[in-house]
């Protein structure tokens, strides 16, 4: 299969690969720019992006807004390619963060973990493109119906399947019992829906497949189901350019498939992570949340097994913590470079 370029509105990526946003602090400007320099789309994670700002503990929202500006600027200094920002619709202050990224002229906002219904209003009158993440045709239909009320359509749709990393748009029992549709099946359904919208509105909306993509063959199979782009995250973790601490990258290199776990995240969704001491200890014993960053609505620090922000920040900085991962880690066994990962994907 010859990979075609990926067009999202007036943006053209020479290769149809989007590096998936990885929070907290795993995909920042360095990784995103490296992927964009190879012709793909690099995604900065905007989730708790201010965690290294000196005032983060006291003023997390201000620190995050400042860091959004800084990371976009740093990425622009390193690349002329396409840079996206990933923000989770379930987070507190989501709209403020999206607005800031749009003000900083981000090319594309990719958003899931909840329905990103506010996006059309937040990018109105700007050139920023919007790509909601869905895990079913039903969710895509709800989003499109809502966007049309604003006279807008998504510029692309990311379909995230059950093998993805981080939060998953499936029910806990579906994940534990593996009673879910495959990514290929969901892509096919979403493509059918999008195909109708494309004909009705004479517009092109690429469908991007995500979750467990590891080889060129995986991409070819998904392309047969209608995918025009591929969002890949886990393969970019063990790279020199990834923004995470070395220990985080080594956890990927050393992990076996048996160490993959499905956990209930305090966000209220299932999530896929590597079995770490932090995770087993807190799931068995619980832990005391000493600092609440108020990152999510409906999160009660008294009842959650662990604080998601603290767990993810600790891991990003190399301490024992929460390490999200996509499925099929066994094939990932060395630290390489973004160039090597991409050329293996497109040339193998
Ligand atoms: C470490 C890690 C962190 C992630 N964080 C986020 C996030 O903050 N927001 C989001 O929408 N997706 C997040 N994801 C999902 C990815 O963006 C991507 O869609 C998915 O992992 C693709 O599957 P793959 O990792 O098997 O390639 C994360 C994935 C990983 C591995």
User: How many CB atoms are closer than 10 A to CB 167?
Assistant: 24
Q: Which atom of ligand 1 is nearest to the CA of 328?
A: 26
pLDDT tens for 85-125 read: 999 998 999 999 999 999 999 999 999 988 999 999 999 99
CATH number for position 21: 3.20.20.70
- CA-nearest residue, atom 5 of ligand 1: 22
State mean pLDDT over 129-151.
97
The pLDDT value given to residue 257: 87
Distance 209 CA to ligand 1 centre (A): 12
Query: Domain count of the chain?
Result: 2
User: How many CB atoms are closer than 10 A to CB 246?
Assistant: 12
Residues with Cβ within 8 Å of residue 313, at least 6 apart in sequence: 24, 25, 48, 51, 321
Q: Do 240 and 254 have their domain in common?
A: no
pLDDT tens for 243-296 read: 999 999 999 999 998 899 999 888 788 999 999 999 988 877 777 777 888 888
Residue 330 phi, psi (nearest 5): -60, -30
Tell me what the pLDDT averaged over the chain comes to. 95
Is 181 inside any structural domain? Answer: yes
Q: Quick check: CB of 251 below 6 Å from ligand 1?
A: no
Q: Do 113 and 208 have their domain in common?
A: yes
State mean pLDDT over 318-327.
96
Q: Do 169 and 263 have their domain in common?
A: no
CA dist., res. 282 & res. 322, Å (int): 10
> Are 208 and 7 in contact, with CB atoms under 8 Å apart?
no
Q: Do 195 and 181 have their domain in common?
A: yes
Q: Quick check: CB of 132 below 6 Å from ligand 1?
A: no
With the most atoms of ligand 1 within 8 angstroms of its CB, the residue from 131, 165, 183, 266 to mutate is: 165
The pLDDT value given to residue 129: 98
Q: Quick check: CB of 21 below 6 Å from ligand 1?
A: yes
* Boundaries of domain holding 264: 248-316
Distance 170 CA to ligand 1 centre (A): 14
Q: Do 99 and 123 have their domain in common?
A: yes
């Amino acid at each position: 299969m010859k990979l075609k370029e990926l067009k999202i509105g007036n943006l053209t990526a020479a290769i149809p690969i989007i590096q998936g946003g990885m929070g907290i602090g795993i995909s920042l400007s360095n990784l995103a720019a490296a992927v964009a320099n190879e012709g793909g789309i690099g995604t900065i994670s905007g989730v708790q992006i201010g965690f290294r700002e000196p005032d983060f503990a006291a003023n997390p929202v201000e620190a995050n807004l400042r860091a959004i500006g800084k990371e976009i600027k740093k990425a622009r200094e390193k690349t002329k390619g396409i840079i996206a920002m990933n923000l989770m619709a379930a987070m507190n202050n989501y709209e403020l963060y999206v607005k800031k990224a749009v003000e900083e002229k981000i090319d594309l906002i990719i958003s899931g973990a909840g329905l990103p219904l506010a996006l059309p209003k937040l990018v109105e009158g700007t050139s920023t493109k919007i790509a909601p993440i869905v895990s079913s045709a039903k969710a895509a239909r709800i989003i499109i119906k809502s966007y049309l009320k604003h006279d807008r359509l998504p510029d692309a749709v990311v379909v995230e399947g059950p093998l993805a990393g981080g939060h998953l748009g499936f029910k806990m029992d579906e994940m534990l019992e593996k009673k879910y549709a495959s990514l290929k099946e969901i892509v096919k359904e979403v493509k059918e829906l999008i195909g109708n919208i494309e004909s009705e509105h004479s517009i092109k909306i690429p469908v991007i497949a995500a979750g467990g993509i590891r080889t060129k063959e995986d991409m070819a199979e998904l392309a047969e189901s209608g995918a025009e782009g591929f969002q890949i995250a886990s393969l970019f973790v063990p790279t020199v350019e990834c923004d995470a601490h070395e220990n985080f990258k080594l956890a990927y290199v050393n992990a076996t498939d048996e160490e993959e776990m499905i956990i209930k995240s305090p966000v209220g969704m299932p999530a896929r992570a590597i079995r770490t001491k932090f995770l087993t200890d807190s799931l068995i014993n619980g832990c005391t949340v000493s600092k609440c960053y108020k990152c999510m609505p409906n999160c009660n620090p008294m009842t959650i097994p662990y604080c998601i922000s603290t767990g993810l920040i600790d891991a990003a900085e190399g301490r024992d913590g929460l390490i999200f991962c996509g499925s099929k880690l066994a094939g990932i066994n060395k630290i390489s470079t973004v160039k090597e990962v991409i050329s293996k994907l497109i040339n193998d």
